[in-house]
């Protein structure tokens, strides 16, 4: 008994040591970015010591105010573009996916199996692969260089359908049948019963679609030609290739992009994790 206790203790130390080391490797870049964004001089960043940057000196919001002062493209416009494209594409995605997933999961739709397969199969061709022809499609639809082009392209993500479909499959059919007998119409049933019931899954889908749209890079990259359509992501890449802005300000922009997402993730991690792995983990 005693020997096995020692053994357990030894294993635990080994495992905790390893996990803490990995945790540091995961967190360090984010922490470094945040501190670099608050440094007022380059001294700490070019220092040959890893810990130099953690010394509390030359700290301030100067890099952030330098960002606000930029005129082409202005930070405020990019932030608004990011928020508008992410929010609207999430709304469109959730609404269309909600109805489609509900119908496919709860009603005997002719060819429903094939339709569901079609929606899932769009996942195997990611947007990075489809970007070039998407650009040409957007040109032929007159949607290039427009909010509509960015928003509609971003809203075609089928993970929401999978998340909602799996949830609807678990709702007992009796609930639906009972409300039919009570004479409820299809829309009534959806809004009064199905939607409130499925709120946790809808919330999960909303969070994931928002994160995906917020982080989107290639779609705004090909669609936004005019600087006034740049999102924060495109702005970050654009600034990193110019000389008139220093690296600390780029890290400030990186923090502006990352902090909201990390806050959302920390507050809702269980839902986000469950949703993102909906297509790959069975429960």
CA 246, 250, 251 angle in degrees (round to 5)?
115
Compute the distance between CA of residue 163 and CA of residue 187 in angstroms, rounded to an integer. 21
Candidate ranges 61-69, 71-79, 167-175, 254-262; the one touching other proteins (CB under 8 A)? 254-262
Structure tokens at 47: 């220092």
The residue within the footprint of other proteins, chosen from 119, 165, 168, 230 (CB under 8 A), is 119
Q: Which CB sits closer to other proteins, 130 or 175?
A: 130
CB of 157 vs other proteins, minimal distance in Å: 9
Q: Which long-range contacts (CB under 8 A, 24 or more apart) does 244-248 make?
A: 245/66, 245/67, 245/70, 246/42, 246/63, 246/66, 247/36, 247/42, 247/45, 248/36, 248/37, 248/39, 248/40, 248/42, 248/45, 248/63
Residues binding other proteins: number (CB under 8 A):
90
The token duo for 155 is: 């809203």
136, 222 Cβ separation under 8 angstroms: no
- Per DSSP, the three-state class of 170 is helix
CB of 143 to other proteins, least distance (A): 10
Q: Which of 211, 224, 229, 278 binds other proteins (CB under 8 A)?
A: 211
CB of 145 to other proteins, least distance (A): 13
Number of H helices, E strands in the chain: 14, 0
Positive/negative CA dihedral, 270, 273, 275, 279: negative
50 vs 243 by CB, closer to other proteins: 50
| 3-state secondary structure (DSSP) of residue 242 | coil
Instruction: Give the shortest CB-107-to-other proteins separation in angstroms.
Output: 5
- Smallest gap from Cβ 83 to other proteins, in A, equals 15
The site string for other proteins over 24-63 (x = CB under 8 A, - otherwise) reads: -xxx-xx-xx-----------xxxxxx-------------
**Using CB under 8 A, which of the segments 55-63, 170-178, 196-204, 261-269 binds other proteins?**
261-269
What are the angstrom distances between the C-alpha of 20 and each of 26, 266, 272? 10, 18, 23
Binds other proteins (CB under 8 A): choice among 222, 224, 229, 252: 222
CA 84 vs. chain centroid, Å, equals 14
Which one of residues 186, 197, 203, 228 is an interface residue with other proteins (CB under 8 A)?
A: 186
What residues between 59 and 118 interact with other proteins by CB under 8 A? 92, 95-97, 99-100, 102-104, 107, 109-110, 115, 118
**Which of these segments, 57-65, 67-75, 170-178, 233-241, binds other proteins (CB under 8 A)?**
233-241
> Smallest distance from the beta carbon of 243 to other proteins, in angstroms?
15
Task: Work out which of 21, 132, 178, 263 binds other proteins, going by CB under 8 A.
Answer: 132
- With contact defined as beta carbons under 8 Å apart, do 24 and 212 qualify? no
Q: What are 43's two structure tokens?
A: 């001294």
Residue 280: CB minimum distance to other proteins, A: 5
Q: At residue 14, what are phi and psi to the nearest 5 degrees?
A: -60, -50
Candidate residues 131, 175, 193, 245; the one interacting with other proteins per rule CB under 8 A: 131
């Amino acid at each position: 008994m005693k020997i096995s206790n020692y053994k357990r203790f030894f294993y635990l130390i080994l495992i905790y040591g390893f996990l803490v080391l990995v945790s540091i490797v995961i967190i360090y870049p984010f922490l470094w970015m945040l501190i670099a964004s608050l440094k007022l001089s380059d001294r700490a960043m070019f220092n040959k010591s890893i810990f130099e940057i953690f010394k509390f000196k030359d700290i301030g919001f100067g890099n952030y105010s330098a960002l606000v002062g930029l005129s082409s493209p202005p930070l405020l416009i990019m932030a608004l573009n990011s928020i508008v494209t992410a929010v609207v594409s999430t709304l469109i995605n959730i609404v269309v996916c909600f109805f489609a997933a509900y119908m496919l999961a709860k009603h005997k739709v002719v060819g429903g199996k094939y339709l569901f397969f079609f929606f899932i199969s769009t996942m195997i061709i990611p947007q990075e692969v489809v970007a070039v022809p998407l650009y040409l499609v957007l040109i032929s639809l007159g949607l290039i260089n427009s909010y509509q082009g960015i928003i509609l392209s971003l809203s075609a993500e089928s993970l929401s359908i999978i998340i909602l479909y799996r949830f609807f499959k678990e709702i007992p059919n009796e609930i639906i049948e009972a409300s039919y007998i009570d004479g409820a119409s299809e829309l009534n049933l959806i809004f009064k019963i199905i939607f409130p019931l499925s709120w946790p899954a809808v919330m999960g889908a909303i969070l994931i679609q928002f994160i995906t749209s917020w982080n989107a890079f290639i779609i705004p990259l090909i669609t936004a030609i005019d600087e006034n359509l740049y999102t924060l992501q495109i702005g970050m890449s654009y600034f990193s290739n110019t000389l008139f802005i220093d690296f600390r300000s780029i890290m400030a922009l990186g923090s502006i992009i990352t902090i909201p997402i990390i806050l959302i993730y920390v507050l809702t991690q269980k839902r986000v994790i469950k949703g993102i792995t909906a297509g790959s983990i069975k429960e």
